[in-house]
């Protein structure tokens, strides 16, 4: 059996271990230290737009904190993009709030501004205005974020931008991770850069960053003894993990370029394969990091063709994965409302993610190309 080709695997730049060695030399083996501060500074400089970054132990934890900062509590409703990974929606449940899902639009596959407004109005009509909105840039493709922002402003609803998959992507020249009232990033092992596991809150001001760090370190009051007036979390990032992050920041732009090159490779490959569309930016305002390249099959028997292709690649030790199953169809969210027209459900049936790592070699691309051509011939 040939070596496995992964969907998206960690890709070290080379200097990560020097930051870790420094942490060991100085005994900063803790969820604070110079690497955490350094990584936060690097992210703030990269994102621009007066960003204030607090690094935490996961992207899911960052969303949990963001919802807490937004004032979400038991009994509230939170509007959430249905076409996403469970890390986006689960923290709503952690807080005892209820998710209400919003469908996608066809162009970016992200939250439909039309159904978002419909969902907010429906909430207001029944006397329960949603407490927050979570919009996602899935697969690194920027959502119609200025329309989503405008709607949230109009109805005065807190907007959380889930940029877990979108570091390095931008919308109208502005980096994803700088929109809405709060943004989150993920540095899980499969993301565009990794700290082995980790995440960040991107805040619009220093005060919110301080609140995030306070909550992420057990909400300790200023007292000589342990004193708490608020329930906190143990969510701060380790100084070892942050060392990996500092090294990864040195290669972030290069790795975005490599992912975009993979996308161009798939565009060329599928150009003459009938029925297959490679998911691409709808216009020049949108700049995807192409974290994962995805295809859809547009002819009859879509579900079957895609499922069989997935198995065919698996048998050749090439990892692929169906597009994310919408949250409102997940057994765990059974019975939860979703505003929309079935766009996300349709995408789930007809789409597949293909190997997209920045460490994909030419030889691996050749194997993928041969497999795809064999399957469709
Ligand atoms: C990965 C991911 C998360 C969660 O991040 P973790 O660091 O894995 O907890 C949240 N939302 C989206 C869209 C993701 O892809």
The CATH number of the domain holding residue 48 is 3.40.640.10
User: Ligand 1: which of 7, 87, 166, 245 to mutate, judged by most atoms within 8 Å of the beta carbon?
Assistant: 87
Bridge-based pairing of strands 338-339 and 98-102 is parallel
61 lies in a domain?
A: yes
**Residues 272 and 368 occupy one common structural domain:** yes
So what's the pLDDT on residue 302?
86
In a domain, 66, yes or no: yes
Domain count, the chain: 2
Dig out the tokens for 127 from the structure: 């006397």
Residue 370 CA to residue 377 CA, distance in Å, equals 11
The answer as to whether 160 is a domain residue is yes
pLDDT at 261: 98
Question: Is residue 185 domain-shared with residue 95, that is, in the same domain?
Answer: yes
Ligand 1 mean position, distance from CA 87 (Å): 5
The model carries a pTM of 0.98
Q: Determine whether the shortest distance from the Cβ of 87 to ligand 1 is under 6 A.
A: yes
**CA of 136, closest atom in ligand 1:** 13
Q: Is 89 in the pocket of ligand 1 (CB under 6 A)?
A: no
Widest Cα–Cα separation across the chain: 72
Separation of 74 CA from ligand 1 center, angstroms? 23
> What's the confidence (pLDDT) of residue 168?
98
Q: State residue 206's pLDDT score.
A: 98
Instruction: Indicate whether residue 164 lines ligand 1 (CB < 6 A).
Output: yes
Residues 234 and 270 grouped into a single domain: no
- 357: which 2 tokens? 């790592």
Do 367 and 2 form a contact (C-beta atoms < 8 A)?
Answer: yes
Write the burial class of residue 282 (CB in 10 Å: 0-12 exposed, 13-18 middle, 19+ buried): middle
- Positions annotated as catalytic residues are 191
Cβ 140 under 6 angstroms from ligand 1: no
Asked if 258 and 238 sit in the same domain, the reply is no
Q: Report which ligand 1 atom has the smallest distance to the Cα of 60.
A: 9
Question: 51 near 177, Cβ under 8 Å?
Answer: yes
- Same domain assignment for residues 189 and 69: yes
Q: Which of 75, 123, 69, 77 is nearest to 99 (CA)?
A: 77
Confirm whether 82 is domain-assigned: yes
Residue where a domain terminates, one of 214, 249, 284: 249
Same domain, residue pair 191 and 257: no
Residue 1 lies in a domain: no
The closest residue, in CA terms, to atom 6 on ligand 1 is 59
Q: Are residues 319 and 220 in the same domain?
A: no
| Residues of the chain scoring pLDDT < 50 | none
Residue 125 sits in the same domain as residue 190: yes
Same domain as 57, residue 112: yes
10 occurs within a structural domain: no
Residue 172 lies in a domain: yes
Residue 4 located in a structural domain:
no
C-alpha of residue 59 to centroid of ligand 1, in Å: 5
**Same domain, yes or no: 262 and 242:** no
Query: 60 CA to middle of ligand 1, Å?
Result: 6
Q: Is 227 left (phi over 0), alpha (psi -120 to 50) or beta?
A: beta
Q: Strand, coil or helix: what is 80?
A: strand
Residue at a domain's end among 249, 266, 283: 249
- Residue 336 structural domain: 252-376
**Same structural domain for residues 209 and 227?**
yes
Contact 186 CB / ligand 1 (< 6 Å): yes
Which of 233, 249, 265 is a domain's end point?
249
pLDDT at residue number 255? 98
162 shares a domain with 31: yes
What is the structure's pLDDT at 2? 87
Beta bridge partners of 135: 161
Q: What is the CATH number of the domain that holds 274?
A: 3.90.1150.10
Strand partners, 162: 136, 184
């Amino acid at each position: 059996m040939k070596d496995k080709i992964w969907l998206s695997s960690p890709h070290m730049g080379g200097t990560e271990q020097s930051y870790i060695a420094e942490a060991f030399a100085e005994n900063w083996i803790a969820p604070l230290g110079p690497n955490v501060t350094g990584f936060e500074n690097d992210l703030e400089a990269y994102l621009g737009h007066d960003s204030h970054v607090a690094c935490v132990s996961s992207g899911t934890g960052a969303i949990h904190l963001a919802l807490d900062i937004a004032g979400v509590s038991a009994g509230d409703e939170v509007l959430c993009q249905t076409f996403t990974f469970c890390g986006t929606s689960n923290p709503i449940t952690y807080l005892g709030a209820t998710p209400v899902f919003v469908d996608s639009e066809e162009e970016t596959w992200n939250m439909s501004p039309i159904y978002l407004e419909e969902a907010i109005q429906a909430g207001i009509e029944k006397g329960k205005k949603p407490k927050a909105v979570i919009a996602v840039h899935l697969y690194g493709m920027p959502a119609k974020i200025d329309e989503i922002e405008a709607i949230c402003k109009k109805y005065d609803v807190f907007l959380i931008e889930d940029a877990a998959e979108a570091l390095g992507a931008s919308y109208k020249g502005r980096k994803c991770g700088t929109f809405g009232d709060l943004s989150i990033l993920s540095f899980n092992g499969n993301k565009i850069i990794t700290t082995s596991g980790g995440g960040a809150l991107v805040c619009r001001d220093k005060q919110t960053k301080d609140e995030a760090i306070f909550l992420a370190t057990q909400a300790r009051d200023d007292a000589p003894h342990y004193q708490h007036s608020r329930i906190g979390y143990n969510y701060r990032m380790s100084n070892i993990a942050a060392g990996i992050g500092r090294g990864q920041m040195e290669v972030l732009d290069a790795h975005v370029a490599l992912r975009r090159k993979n996308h161009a490779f798939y565009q060329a490959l599928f150009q003459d394969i009938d029925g297959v569309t490679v998911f691409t930016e709808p216009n020049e305002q949108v700049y995807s990091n192409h974290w994962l390249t995805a295809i859809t099959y547009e002819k009859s028997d879509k579900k079957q063709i895609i499922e069989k292709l997935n198995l065919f690649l698996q048998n050749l030790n090439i990892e692929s994965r169906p597009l994310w199953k919408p949250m409102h169809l997940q057994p765990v969210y059974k019975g939860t409302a979703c505003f929309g027209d079935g766009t996300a459900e349709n995408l789930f049936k007809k789409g597949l993610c293909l190997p997209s790592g920045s460490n994909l070699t030419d030889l691996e691309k050749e194997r993928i190309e041969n497999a795809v051509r064999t399957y469709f011939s």
